[in-house]
Amino acid sequence: MFTYDIYEPIGRKEGETFPVIYALHGFGGDELDVPGILEIMMDRYVVVALRGKVEYGPSYGFYHMATEGEPDAKEIHEVSKQVLQFIADINKEYDTIQTTNTFLIGFDQGAIVTLDLMLRYGGEISGAALLSSRFLSYTEKLRKNLLLQNKPFFVGHGTEDMVVPIEEAERLTRFLRTLSTNVEFHSFFTAHSLKEAEEDELEAWLDKLVQTQVQKK
């Protein structure tokens, strides 16, 4: 089990349910990082913010950083399995959650874990936003998941990112478009960080997906 914070809409009615967003922070962050750009949505979404289990001083990561080259793909996969189980457990525990509207938003390391989860088990998730993510070479070697053909992806990246160049996000977008017909790429005038500029576009993307789901019923 991960340490986590959960934000349920204030003033909700008895028996009312809401879409859920699982938020995964980046290297050197914690469970307080991503909810900051989701605050404007907390009146109509349940937000569950996870804390990575790897300690880096007073902060955390989801997996160990590599001193050279890319991080260990096996460790990332193990973490993504743990996140998937965590999602299943939380979705059962809280009766405010609409399990049919389960979304992931990951930043930096959290985006890499999110991508691994989606590539392997994405049929169980409604959509994923990947913010300021690296594009690791092992992902191209994974077997294609046919359940991703229409899966919504939001790729967001800062044009001034000196930690992870925007070219990696462009490569990631091209790769995802070989798997899904529903991939959006958004660039923002920011560095390697979460900024308010992403709020509006994430909010519009999520609201559109939820509304589409409602119309199908």
| Mean pLDDT over each residue of the chain, to the nearest integer | 95
Look at 199 and 215; give whichever has higher pLDDT.
199
User: Residues of 29-65 as b/e, b for ≥16 C-beta within 10 angstroms?
Assistant: bbbebbbebbeebbeebbbbbbbbeeeeeebbbbbee
Measured CA distances, 55 to 48, 64, 110 (Å): 20, 9, 15
Measured CA distances, 216 to 60, 154, 210, 213 (Å): 40, 21, 10, 5
The model's pLDDT over 78-118, given as tens digits with 9 standing for 90+, comes to: 999 999 999 999 999 999 999 999 999 999 999 999 999 99
Mean pLDDT of 152-161: 96
What's the pTM value of the predicted model, to 2 decimals? 0.96
Kindly list the domain boundaries of the chain, sorted by start residue: 4-216
4-216 has which fold? Rossmann fold (3.40.50)
Mean pLDDT of 138-161: 95
pLDDT at residue 217 is higher than 60: no
